[in-house]
Structure 1
Amino acid sequence: MIRPIPSRRASVLGAVVIGIAAFVVLVRPWADGADRADARPGRGCVSSVPYVSGAGGYVSYRIPAVVRSRGGTLLAFAEGRVDGRADHGDIDVVLRRSWDGGCTWGRLQVVAAGDGNTRGNPSPVVDPRTGNIVLVTSYHSGDVTEAQILRGEATGALGRRVFVQTSEDDGRSFSAPREITSAVKRPGWRWYATGPGHAVALTRGEHAGRLVVPANHSSAPPAGSADTGQEPRYYGAHAIYSDDGGTSWHLGFADDSYDGVYNANESTAAQLPDGRLYFNARNQKGTSSGNRLDAYSSDGGADLDRGYAEQRSLNDVPLVEGSVLQLAGESGDLLFSGPSVPTDRAAMALWSSTDGGRSFAKALTLSARKAGYSDLVQADGDRVGILYETGARTAYESIVFRRVPLTELSAAGR
């Protein structure tokens, strides 16, 4: 079945919809000269630019997430923001795929169309049992803002909701978004966000095969408290998980201390070699001195071993999302990515930990340019990839994919 995009979008985007049974992919015919859909494999590149704000029918691209499929394809997700850079409005979840380790990228696909509403916070993961790509995203009405949701003025169909999609063909197509909000969101929560960044598939231990999506929320203040909706102390992190490849979902731990000191937000996760989950989170305007928090779970994300605490070895990171990745192998390092100027979103860098996240040391600064959100992936056996926001004047001019040889990381971090 082929149907045209509604006229409001067709004039801007010139897109077609290709649907096969329940699977839907919107394909936009944008591929600049270096990023051809029929690119041949090559291993000599250092970096590529899958998303440039203003190209492909979107004013802005933000919120990167990347995974490597069982077949070796890299899938780079982002939010395609139609009308501007704001976090609300007409926003699609988009995808570009690479068959050569991130040197070149195929045509842009729309995986979840906003159609005037906000779909975003992509959190993809590869199911280790089937190889399917499972994508969890967040949604709210394009007519409301985050501030309205935080104040409790936009709930139900207008407020934050959670959806899941699946690809059985290496990301060529995805099932239509299916809502799972009632299974993973408590009634008193207002804001809700999945990831952003890749989720985790557990590969060892009692819960091997479980898909774990780090997420965050805000809560209404206690009865009798001032309810401005802007009080950051009511932010918290949580996790959701599936033990059947994304069919059914459950709420795992929920950080609900709301003490105002540690406000865990935009959490990211990795499974350590000993089977535990490591969570690292942004401290959303908490009163502690640092901007990063972390926690551990020994039961696959159902509970935390301890509450979130300050990670002082990452105090150079400003208030921003970050990413963690456990490198393959029993002795592989745990990596963290984020900007490295405490007072500015600039100078994207990589840190490494040899002690399971107890401490990190800066291994490499990738660039002095402005930099924002990022996501890490093991691109192949001897390279790590980082998909991140960057630009000369602002951090949101493009989303770049950088390939870093592990030998370069090891030499810099020791």
Structure 2
Amino acid sequence: MDLFLYLRLIWMFLLASALRSEMQIKPLIYDEQLLWVSNGAGEVNTYRIPLLTFTSRGSLLAFTEARKDSSGDIGAKFIAMKRSIDRGATWSPTSFIVDDGILVDGLNLGSVVVDEQTQSVMLIYSLCFHQYQCSTSSTMLVESLDDGLTWNAPRNLSVQLGVKSFAPGPGFGIQKRLSPAAGRLVVCGHGTIEGDGVFCILSDDHGRTWRNGGSLKSIPYNQPKQSQDFNPDECQPVEMQDGSIMINVRNQNNYHCHCRMVVRSLDGGETLPVEELRFDHTLVDPVVAAGALQKEEVLYFSNPANSQKRVNMTLRWSLTNGTTWENEAMQIWAGPSGYSSMTSLVSNSVEDKKYIYLIYEKGHKESIETISLAKIHLYGGR
């Protein structure tokens, strides 16, 4: 190797090191707002199950279940939404975009998925998921074609998917950017408590039609579970830099550990092979829905970081696609905290590259007291 090439390689290494140092992740909560408060007043008793997404036009949409009569999972609900056009600085009043009436076994959120090519925003949820005082479960889709301002009447996807109970997410679905199956919409969720497991549904025509994709079924399947049975549950898919889909999964019965399951699909969600399943002991978890997000070649994860209780909402990050996690972590809220979901705006703006947004259940005595949104500056604490 000649001296010039050697010096050039050394210079490139030093430059890369300097850039990594300059962009070292040191998160800071830039702003935090309570979007919903569960005070039992008016038409809503409790707000739960928060979702969050940016539209392709840059609006920020927040969704939650508005449980009409109690805090329980079973019961009549609205889907509540707020919209921000200034990166979360201000928000519209709450609107109810879906009303399930007086259903005893009402709607369950749900996953939101954005089609970047059509600019459509789709929200997928279930009806009669628990099959309590009803016989048939339905997978439903409601769509906005005008950036979340108005929503079409719900469509029942069960004609295409069948009537197996399927609870999407909760979190976001993805549109694959890379091969295999670039452009495909992938939404993953779980089945009923007995017939549980992770299941994905797929669309290759921008959400017009859907079909069943890969599954990772519980053991024993369709039978009552015991402690430490294998029981994958609520989940969040993320597309990785190699085009695979990583799904971070709730470990419902604490099989193997009080931590998260992770499974990968190598074929765009068609299969979830057991060979691609592992347990992430670093991601200690009290059995809850968690957030995952890929941004600028960094994988982020949010959950109440406690093996027993839903407390200590924490943000972690990985520079190695989730194979290892940085020793440093950021505590978002020390107290009671539950479900969480994250998003960020994908753009060429330097400002947009600095921020992620975390929506989560937050309280002082119980985690279900409020829905809070934190805007996090990834480099603000340096």
Q: State how far apart, in whole Å, the 1-side matches of 2:200 and 2:157 are.
A: 14
The answer to whether the 8 Å contact 2:315/2:329 transfers is yes
Matched, 1:359 2:324: yes
Query: What SS is found at the alignment partner of 1:312?
Result: strand
Q: CA deviation at 1:304?
A: 2.0
Secondary structure in structure 1 of the residue aligned to 2:149: coil
**1:399 maps to which residue?**
371
Query: Residue 48 of structure 1 corresponds to which residue in structure 2?
Result: 33
The DSSP-based 3-state class of the residue aligned with 1:88 is coil
Contact 2:50 2:64 in 1 (8 A): yes
Query: CA offsets per residue over residues 203-226 of structure 1, 9 Å max, x none?
Result: 1213111111111113xxxxxxxx
Pairs aligned (count): 336
Contact 1:278/1:357 (8 A) holds in 2 = no
Deviation at 1:154, TM superposition (A): 4.3
Residue 170 (str. 1) matches residue 147 (str. 2) = yes
1:110-137 per-residue CA deviation (whole Å, 9 max, x = no partner) reads: 1111111212212111101111101111
Q: Which amino acid aligns with 1:210?
A: R
Amino acid at match of 2:371: I
Q: Distance in 1 between matches of 2:374 and 2:218?
A: 38
Unaligned runs of 5+ in 2: 1-28, 221-227, 346-351
Equivalent of residue 235 in structure 1, options 180, 196, 213: 196
How far apart are residue 273 of structure 1 and its match? Answer: 1.3
* Change in CA separation of 1:238 and 1:408 when aligned onto 2, cut-off 3 Å: farther
Give CA-to-partner distance per residue, 1:80-136, whole Å, 9 cap, x none. 011110111111111100112122210111111111121221211110111110111
Q: Name the CA shift for 1:309/1:154 in 2 (closer, same or farther; >3 Å).
A: farther
DSSP-derived class of the 1:396 partner: helix
User: For 1:110, what is the secondary structure of its paired residue?
Assistant: strand
Other structure's SS at 1:75 match: strand
- Superposed displacement of residue 346, structure 1: 0.8
What's the CA shift for 1:269? 0.7
Check whether the contact 1:77–1:95 (CA below 8 A) recurs between aligned residues. yes
Q: SS of 2:340's equivalent?
A: strand
- Counterpart amino acid of residue 217 in structure 1: G
Matching of residue 155 in structure 1 with residue 135 in structure 2: yes
Runs of 4+ in 1 over 6 A off after TM superposition: none
Q: CA deviation at 1:408?
A: 4.2
Query: Does residue 180 of structure 2 align to residue 194 of structure 1?
Result: no
The answer to whether residue 89 in structure 2 is matched with residue 128 in structure 1 is no
Q: CA contact under 8 A between 1:50 and 1:399: conserved in structure 2?
A: yes
Alignment of 1:285 with 2:248, yes or no, is no
Partners in 2 of 1:131 and 1:203 — Cα distance?
Answer: 15
C-alpha contact (below 8 Å) 1:235/1:264 kept by paired residues: yes
Q: Distance in 2 between matches of 1:74 and 1:335?
A: 19
Q: Tell me if the contact between 1:45 and 1:103 (Cα under 8 Å) persists in the aligned partners.
A: no
For residues 290 and 408 of structure 1, do their structure 2 counterparts lie closer, same or farther at Cα, with a shift above 3 Å needed? Answer: farther
Q: Which residue of 1 aligns with 2:308?
A: 343
Aligned: 1:103 with 2:89: yes
Question: Which of residues 261, 267, 272 is equivalent to 2:235?
Answer: 267
User: What are the within-5 Å matches in structure 2 for residues 9-48 of structure 1?
Assistant: 46-48=31-33
Distance, in Å, in 2 between the alignment partners of 1:307 and 1:131 is: 32
Secondary structure in structure 1 of the residue aligned to 2:305 = strand
In structure 1, give the amino acid aligned to 2:233.
N
Q: Is this contact kept in 1: 2:126–2:139, CA < 8 A?
A: yes
Secondary structure of the corresponding residue to residue 282 of structure 2 = helix
SS in 1 for 2:379: helix
- Residue aligning to 2:160: 183
Please give the alpha-carbon distance, in whole angstroms, between the structure 2 residues aligned to 1:262 and 1:89: 28
Normalising by structure 2, we get a TM-score of 0.83
Within a 5 Å distance, the mapping from 1:85-100 to structure 2 comes to 85-100=71-86
Residues 154 and 358 of structure 1, relative CA distance in 2, 3 Å threshold: farther
Bigger relative CO (Cα 8 Å, ≥ 6 apart)? 2
Residue 291 of structure 1, CA deviation: 3.2
Q: Over aligned residue pairs, what C-alpha RMSD do you find?
A: 2.0
Distance 1:165 1:244 in 2: 16
Which of the numbers 303, 310, 320 marks the counterpart of 2:271?
A: 303
Instruction: Give the C-alpha shift of residue 198 in structure 1.
Output: 1.2
- C-alpha contact 2:64 2:79 (8 A) present in aligned 1: yes
- Consecutive unaligned residues of structure 1, counting only runs of 5 or more, are 1-43, 219-229
1:7 counterpart residue number? none
| C-alpha deviation, 1:56, in angstroms | 5.9
Alignment of 1:373-384 (within 5 A): 373-379=339-345, 380-384=352-356
Q: 2:101 aligns with which of 105, 110, 115?
A: 115
Give SS of 2:107's match: strand
Q: Which residue of 2 aligns with 1:372?
A: 338
SS of corresponding position for 2:267: coil
Q: TM-score, structure 1 length as denominator?
A: 0.77
Counterpart residue identity of residue 350, structure 1? L
The structure 2 residue matched to 1:82, chosen from 63, 68, 75, is 68
CA distance in 2, matches of 1:131, 1:382: 24
The CA deviation at 1:321 is: 0.6
Which residue is equivalent to 1:139?
127
Greater CA deviation, 298-307 or 196-205?
298-307
**Distance (whole Å) between structure 1 residues aligned to residue 84 and residue 251 of structure 2:** 33
C-alpha separation in 2, matches of 1:345 and 1:286: 15
State the AA in 2 paired with 1:255.
Answer: L
Residue 9 of structure 2 corresponds to which residue in structure 1? none
